Amino acid sequence: MPGREALDIMKVAEAQPVRDAKPSLMGMTRDDLADALRSIGIEERQVRMRVAQLWHWIYLRGVPSFERMTNVSKDLRAVLAERFVIGRPEIVAEQVSVDGTRKWLLRFPPRGAGRPVEVETVYIPEEGRGTLCVSSQVGCTLTCSFCHTGTQKLVRNLTKEEIVAQIVVARERLGDFPHMSAEPGAIVPREGRFVSNIVMMGMGEPLYNFDAVRDALLVASDGEGLSLSKRRITLSTSGVVPLIPRAGAEIGTMLAISLHAVRDDLRDELVPLNRKYPIAALMEACRAYPGLSNARRITFEYVMLKGVNDSPADARELVRLLRGIPAKINLIPFNPWPGSAYACSDWDTIETFAEVVNRAGYASPIRTPRGRDILAACGQLKSASERLKVRERLALEAMIGGADED
Ligand code: SAH
Ligand code: SF4
């Protein structure tokens, strides 16, 4: 909508139920669902079939209540409704950018003695696909010096339910589920969906919440449910080397590495985890990542910091470092945030850097900022939050587009 200045901020919290005391089936794996069914006395010989039914309704059809599960007997629907919910988080706010980027502020109930937490999930529509940027933690234990999340303490890990719920809410709000279409019986084909790609590039380090992220991504990639192919899911890590082989073996999605520097002394500063797992060890883990080929490459994220990591010599070293690894390079213009010690490289510098990388045979897309008007960008969300009462930062877009070109 050209010329539209005002933000489309919708308060939808009132419409959403706050968490019921009943356990939620959202985010459950097939094994979890089987246990839940056993706990209400479903006979063992029926468990498999009932799991398949629930799976279909919760993840493929995306229904929010048991009433809609028309092939489940009325009696069982009543028991299920009495004992469980299909939880949705509270949507505190939904913002739509003039470029179509959407940002949701989701509130999840307290766990144990904790407080409710809020996370942001961002949707970026592009030609022929739409990418959802999902968070894995509230805050982060790591302290990358250019990242705003790095200034926030880890509040807690998100659960598998909360990770899957970010995807379900986005699909629901975008009208991606078949029960929301004009022909409620129709199964929406994969290509017809708004959310076609997922990037774990929101708040937090996904590999430090390994089990929940693994389970959630296996639910998301299940072909009988949310049906996002693993090739269209990208897990981004700052380089938790010992867990990269497990990510390959147990999750099997695409991998993105937040590299950002080509020398250990500089990377130690930008990504302090490098002191524990230096560049050589990280590269070795990348080389060993299963299933790599020209069609299945690792994305290396590289944030462009003025006068810090953006020289042509850095670009040449980057190319040398990645030799032999099927790789894509994602150049991310730095998103400044109040109090950050860095500036974004000049456009010419970024282009010169990209040229060196291109000449070496790598496509090196430079991410164009999206959703600026709703502050859906790295490192900006905290300041946004202060003004818009959006408390947590989620991640963004800049690096998203090139994470998976499929
Ligand atoms: N913790 C994971 C995933 C979340 S961060 C990781 O570090 O990979 C997602 C991406 O955003 C990372 O590549 C991160 O380095 C980058 N990023 C963080 N803050 C940024 C900023 N202010 N500007 C540009 N990119 C940023
Ligand atoms: Fe954490 Fe990633 Fe930010 Fe580093 S870049 S502080 S790992 S969220």
pLDDT in tens, 302-355: 999 999 999 999 999 999 999 999 999 999 999 988 889 999 999 999 999 999
**Is the minimum distance from the CB of 95 to ligand 2 under 6 angstroms?**
no
User: Is residue 121 assigned to a domain?
Assistant: yes
Please choose from 157, 203, 238, 273 the residue to mutate so as to test ligand 2's pocket, defined by most ligand atoms within 8 A of CB. 238
CATH number of 308's domain: 3.20.20.70
pLDDT of residue 367: 79
pLDDT of residue 185: 54
Q: Which of 12-16, 34-38, 198-202 has the lowest mean pLDDT?
A: 12-16
**Is the minimum distance from the CB of 147 to ligand 2 under 6 angstroms?**
yes
Kindly state the percentage of the chain with pLDDT values over 90.
Answer: 72
pLDDT of residue 365: 78
pLDDT of residue 396: 35
User: Would you say 236 and 403 are in contact if contact means Cβ atoms under 8 Å apart?
Assistant: yes
Work out the average pLDDT over 275-295.
97
Pairing mode, if any, of strands 197-200 and 137-138? unpaired
Res 237 pLDDT > 90 = yes
Residue of higher predicted confidence among 253 and 1: 253
378 annotated active-site: yes
User: Would you say 205 and 175 are in contact if contact means Cβ atoms under 8 Å apart?
Assistant: no
Do 145 and 242 fall into the same domain? yes
Do 98 and 58 fall into the same domain? no
Residue of higher predicted confidence among 387 and 301: 301
Do 263 and 119 fall into the same domain? yes
**Is the minimum distance from the CB of 258 to ligand 2 under 6 angstroms?**
yes
Work out the average pLDDT over 206-226.
97
Neighbour count for residue 110 (Cβ, 10 Å): 11
Nearest to 273 by CA among 324, 326, 205, 327: 205
* pLDDT confidence bin for 13, thresholds 50/70/90: very low
Place of tokens 């969300």: 381
Closest ligand to C-alpha of residue 331 is: 1
Res 20 pLDDT > 90 = no
Per-range mean pLDDT, top range of 20-29, 203-212, 363-372:
203-212
Res 373 pLDDT > 80 = no
Neighbour count for residue 395 (Cβ, 10 Å): 29
Do 47 and 182 fall into the same domain? no
User: Is residue 139 assigned to a domain?
Assistant: yes
Do 160 and 191 fall into the same domain? yes
Res 2 pLDDT > 50 = no
Q: Which residue among the candidates 90, 120, 162, 397 is catalytic per the annotation?
A: 120
Residue of higher predicted confidence among 400 and 329: 329
Q: Which residues contact 81 (CB under 8 A, 6 or more apart)?
A: 65, 66, 67
Do 78 and 94 fall into the same domain? no
344 annotated active-site: no
Res 179 pLDDT > 70 = no
φ, ψ at 236 (rounded to 5°): -105, 130
User: Is residue 73 assigned to a domain?
Assistant: yes
Work out the average pLDDT over 351-365.
91
pLDDT of residue 372: 73
Do 73 and 101 fall into the same domain? no
**Is the minimum distance from the CB of 378 to ligand 1 under 6 angstroms?**
yes
Atom of ligand 1 nearest to the CA of 200: 3
Counting other chains too, the contacts that 380-386 makes at CB distance below 8 Å and 24 or more residues apart are 380/148, 380/335, 380/336, 380/337, 381/120, 381/148, 382/148, 382/151, 382/152, 382/337, 382/338, 383/337, 383/338
User: Is residue 37 assigned to a domain?
Assistant: yes
Work out the average pLDDT over 208-213.
98
pLDDT in tens, 248-280: 999 999 999 999 999 999 999 999 999 999 999
Atom of ligand 2 nearest to the CA of 149: 3
Nearest to 393 by CA among 377, 372, 369: 377
pLDDT in tens, 134-152: 999 999 999 999 998 888 8
Do 338 and 310 fall into the same domain? yes
pTM for the model stands at: 0.89
User: Would you say 284 and 322 are in contact if contact means Cβ atoms under 8 Å apart?
Assistant: no
Alpha carbon of residue 354 to chain centroid: 26
- Domain containing 70 equals 30-83
Looking at the 3D structure of the chain, how many domains does it have?
Answer: 2
Which of 83, 101, 118 lies at the terminal end of a domain, its last residue?
A: 83
Do 171 and 39 fall into the same domain? no
Do 74 and 97 fall into the same domain? no
Res 281 pLDDT > 80 = yes
Kindly state the percentage of the chain with pLDDT values over 70.
Answer: 84
Distance 201 CA to ligand 1 centre (A): 7
What average pLDDT does the chain have? 86
Neighbour count for residue 123 (Cβ, 10 Å): 24
Which of 67, 83, 99 lies at the terminal end of a domain, its last residue?
A: 83
Three-state SS annotation for the chain: CCCCCCCEEECCHHHCCCCCCCCECCCCCHHHHHHHHHHCCCCHHHHHHHHHHHHHHHHHHCCCCHHHCCCCCHHHHHHHHHHCECCCCEEEEEEECCCCCEEEEEEECCCCCCCCEEEEEEEEEECCEEEEECCCEECCCCCCCCCCHHHCCCCEECCHHHHHHHHHHHHHHHCCCHHHCCCCCCCCCHHHCCCCEEEECCCCCHHHHHHHHHHHHHHHCCCCCCCCCHHHEEEEECCCHHHHHHHHHHHCCEEEEECCCCCHHHHHHHCHHHHCCCHHHHHHHHHCCCCCECCECEEEEEEEECCCCCCHHHHHHHHHHCCCCCEEEEEEECCCCCCCCCCECCHHHHHHHHHHHHHCCCCCCECCCCCHHHCCCCCCHHHHHHHHCCCCCCCCCCCCHHHCCC
* pLDDT confidence bin for 11, thresholds 50/70/90: very low
For residues 245-276, one letter each, b for 16 or more C-beta atoms within 10 angstroms of the residue's C-beta and e for the rest, the string is: eebbeebbbbbbbbbbbbeeebbbbbbebbee
User: Is residue 152 assigned to a domain?
Assistant: yes
* pLDDT confidence bin for 5, thresholds 50/70/90: very low
Res 72 pLDDT > 60 = yes
Atom of ligand 2 nearest to the CA of 205: 7
Distance 90 CA to ligand 2 centre (A): 26
Do 44 and 158 fall into the same domain? no
Res 103 pLDDT > 50 = yes
23 token code pair: 């356990």
User: Is residue 314 assigned to a domain?
Assistant: yes
Do 60 and 156 fall into the same domain? no
